Amino acid sequence: MGIDKQIELNVNVPKGGLYRYAFFDLGYEHNQPVADRRTGWPAARGLPLPEGVVTDLSRLGLRDADGQAVPFQARPLAHWPDGSVMFAHVAWQADVAHDAPSSFTLVLDADEPSPRPKMPAVAAHDDGRVVLDNGVLRVEVDDVGRAPTIQLTRHGKLVCDGPLELWTKDSGGAKYGGRLFETDAMEIVETGPMSAMVEWRGRHEDGKGGVFLDFVLQIRLDAGRDELTMTHQFINMGDEPDGVAVGEIALRLPAVSPTPYKHVLIQPNAGPKSFARVSEFPEAVDLRIGSTGSHVADAAVLREDTTGYPSYLLLYLDMVDPWAVARTEDFSLQTFVMEGKENWPKTLRIDGGVIEYGIWPTGTELHNLMQGMARTHQIRLAFFDADAPAVDFHRYYYQVETPVNAVAPFEWYQHCKVFGMQYVMPWLPTEYPLIEGAMIGTAERGWSTGMLGYGDDPNSGYDYTNVGMADEIVWINNEHDFTAQAATQYWRSGRPGAWLSSRVCAQHQIDVDFVRKSADPWKEGGIPAHSHFHTSASVYPSHTWTEGLLQYYVTSGDRRALEVAKSLARNLCKYAEEHIAAYEIETRMAGWGLLALVAVIEITRDERCLAAAHAIRDTVGEVVDRTGTYDPEGYNYGTGVLLTAFGHLHRVTGDEVALDLMKRIMDWHLEHGRNDVGVVWGDQTEPYDLNLTLPAYSYLYHATGDTKYRDEGIAFFRYTGPPVSAGANVRSASKHYRTFMPFLLVAHEAGMLHEMEARKR
């Protein structure tokens, strides 16, 4: 079957087993790894499809390594201009282990329909309620009324039934209860067969007309899985321009039936030798997750004999893993906030069968929740046998926290010609280990933790002493679109660390950096530049990025990313329609704004965005017609961004005017813009490895076939030196990756990249 008719997929587990130390009472011997073997584990991936090939997703087929048809579900994420599907989100389930990856083939024109799973997940309206069912669990929720309710049954037996309590408190202690909107409060988001999801929307009210924060709540079931995922988002849509001081945000489930008679926790560092220990007790569970880890409020419930302990070990006595289990006579129920440690502070309490999650616990010392700001958390509930061993809970928690990695070959992205990947070098770690190592160090990084910080980077070289902010943290807000660079690295390499970087950065941008509401019409619907409190700065074109959000969207299927990207594009369109002079302030204004618009055009084909892009193009064109060039003072990184944006506009829309402008500006600089050592770099003589101009040489060479652009680019590449590992901060890492990655394919095909590899030795 031809390359345009199928995609080879690989599903693997990122780590080789879980923990490698002794487990008291966990059923494993000293220093043996806990095997990470997963059965029927959900896997999903957004995948590109060639233009003109797939018009009907029901024609897709998924086969395992033995050629057997596998149940799956697919939905479109984006379309080509001819209406065929450009990206599809594919979800299925895999048997996979840390030592046994799974292989699948997605066939684009299958000769038989996909089989349904044995226990499909479905969602449907039923007599005033929405019902989700996956053959194991059944969830019924009201789609009418003012307060959310939930009835959950397992194998036909009642687990819980009653109000789903949501509440907030302001800093004065006033309490507001969660209520659904009067209209459009509920939506069935997915109907199966592999997953089903329902969404509620509402706000927190005090019964006297007072409102304190909106909310969105989702519940998802996966086919045949004995687990439930609940997603909670709080949103500040208030009128206070400086945000609000939050006292508490919490969520409480109806009481579990039958009432739990015992709870299970694990101490990761118990005893004089600091090994793991299981603790089962009848008292209530009360966990606190903060900057120092997860702790139980009262260590006495653990019943640990500390006789003879050295004093320093007593400091760790209350530390536990950030999950809890309630055992009943029918089942054991494990629950936790996913990535709760990264999104601290959190609390988890189980008392009398009632499970309560502190999303924003009382006493949290965080800054105001700024106007338009949000944050999203996922909660997992998983059922096990009543007498399940503790190692099952340990294994499951770390499996959820380590998602399976569904990898598509990068050559497929190049074949489909999406996001310009046909001009990006494939993953070649064997041929260029030092250069590829530098790219890994640039794209894969650790992150600041904390609920409003996770996914962002503070103080990347900014000093605001001139405006009285010497002691204030400045957050970077995805500067130079780090999300896009990490996503590109993931597509190239399939490395889960690159996907983690892209995912958490995108999710932070969607929630914390995005201003959903503002009294400033130029700020609402945008993402401000690097600033204190994330959103205290202004919104303007040179710091608006959509490529990464959209690459995250077409990989994850997270529709929130598309909504934010389209909103950012509307802001850019408004500048083009009402204040075009903003794009003329400096070269990077036009460059970054145009890049952001073109990315939205590629995915949505939005005509308003295209008109705005043409307006920016023509504004630049007027200057070029009058002066013969753009930015004659020096071929700086802003010029490179603008030229690259013209290349993207030509690639996506075939705009010959944009390509002609790109050539005219570049050719002028090649003739008039050389420095004292003969390099096209204006008056500057020092190399600058974050120049962002190399991508323009690459695209002009590929688009025109003129070798002068390749040769001039190689000369400049030699001048800047080889890529380094620039992962110290998001700001420089994204600029560095964006500078070099688009040119590496040209250098590789010209045979000079080995020279750069040698220069790194």
pLDDT digits (tens, 9 = 90+) for 394-417: 999 999 999 999 999 999 999 999
pLDDT at position 22, please? 43
Determine how β-strand 23-24 pairs with β-strand 275-281: parallel
pLDDT at position 471, please? 63
How far is the CA of 505 from the CAs of 13, 596, 638, in angstroms? 22, 17, 24
Do the domain assignments include residue 42?
A: yes
Q: Which of 107, 139, 162 is the last residue of a domain?
A: 107
Least reliable range by pLDDT among 9-23, 45-59, 418-432, 443-457: 9-23
421 neighbors 491 (Cβ within 8 angstroms): yes
Residue-wise pLDDT for 448-457, tens only, equals 999 999 999 9
Sequence-distant (6+) residues with CB within 8 A of 626 are none
Q: Can you give the residue range of the structural domain that contains 38?
A: 3-107
pLDDT at position 452, please? 97
Half-sphere exposure (Cβ direction) of 505: Cα atoms closer than 13 Å: 38
Do the domain assignments include residue 180?
A: no
Gap between the Cα atoms of 339 and 454, Å rounded: 10
Gap between the Cα atoms of 660 and 171, Å rounded: 58
Residue 183 burial class via C-beta count within 10 angstroms: exposed 0-12, middle 13-18, buried 19 and up: exposed
Gap between the Cα atoms of 167 and 215, Å rounded: 10
Q: Where are the beta strands (DSSP E) in 155-241?
A: 157-163, 165-170, 175-180, 186-191, 195-205, 211-222, 227-235
Do the domain assignments include residue 387?
A: no
Gap between the Cα atoms of 149 and 164, Å rounded: 5
Number of folded domains that form the chain: 2
Gap between the Cα atoms of 386 and 325, Å rounded: 10
Q: Is the pLDDT of residue 28 over 70?
A: no
Instruction: Tell me the CATH number at 67.
Output: 2.60.40
Summarize the chain as % helix, strand, coil (round to 5).
30, 30, 40
Least reliable range by pLDDT among 49-58, 157-166, 320-329, 457-466: 457-466
CA dihedral 184, 186, 187, 188 (to 10 degrees): -160
535 neighbors 375 (Cβ within 8 angstroms): no
Residue-wise pLDDT for 632-683, tens only, equals 877 778 999 999 999 999 999 999 999 999 999 999 999 999 988 888 988 8
Instruction: Please name every residue paired with 61 in a beta bridge, in sequence order, or none if there are none.
Output: 107
Which of 547, 652, 539 lies closest to 595, judged by CA? Answer: 547
Q: Is the pLDDT of residue 314 over 90?
A: no
Do the domain assignments include residue 224?
A: no
Residue-wise pLDDT for 215-252, tens only, equals 999 999 999 999 999 999 999 999 999 999 999 999 99
pLDDT at position 36, please? 87
Gap between the Cα atoms of 200 and 187, Å rounded: 7
20 — pLDDT class (breaks 50, 70, 90): very low
- The phi-psi region of residue 729 (left if phi > 0; otherwise alpha if psi is between -120 and 50; otherwise beta) is beta
In this structure, the number of other CB atoms found within 10 A of the CB of residue 19 comes to 17
Where is pLDDT greater, at 412 or 684?
412
The two three-digit tokens of residue 734, written as one number: 């994204």
Residue-wise pLDDT for 145-185, tens only, equals 788 899 999 999 999 999 999 999 999 999 999 999 988 88
pLDDT at position 379, please? 98
Q: What is the CA radius of gyration of the chain?
A: 27
CA dihedral 313, 318, 322, 325 (to 10 degrees): 120
Least reliable range by pLDDT among 24-28, 29-33, 516-520, 691-695: 24-28
Amino acid at 320: V
Do the domain assignments include residue 551?
A: yes
665 neighbors 700 (Cβ within 8 angstroms): no
Q: Is the pLDDT of residue 325 over 80?
A: yes
Mean pLDDT of 174-200: 94
32 — pLDDT class (breaks 50, 70, 90): low
Gap between the Cα atoms of 327 and 689, Å rounded: 58
Mean pLDDT of 96-105: 94
Do the domain assignments include residue 482?
A: yes
Q: Is the pLDDT of residue 111 over 80?
A: yes
% of the chain surpassing 90 pLDDT: 81
Do the domain assignments include residue 598?
A: no
Q: Which of 543, 578, 613 is the last residue of a domain?
A: 578
The two three-digit tokens of residue 606, written as one number: 């939005």
Residue tagged 């101009």 (tokens): 693
Q: What is the 3-state secondary structure (H, E, C) of 79-137?
A: ECCCCCEEEEEEEEEEEEECCECEEEEEECCCCCCCCCCCCCCEEEEECCEEEEECCCE
351 neighbors 285 (Cβ within 8 angstroms): yes
pLDDT at position 707, please? 98
Gap between the Cα atoms of 726 and 169, Å rounded: 43
The two three-digit tokens of residue 101, written as one number: 């990856």
Q: Which of 61, 79, 107 is the last residue of a domain?
A: 107
pLDDT at position 640, please? 93
pLDDT at position 19, please? 56
pLDDT at position 112, please? 87
Amino acid at 38: R
3-state secondary structure (DSSP) of residue 614: helix
% of the chain surpassing 70 pLDDT: 96
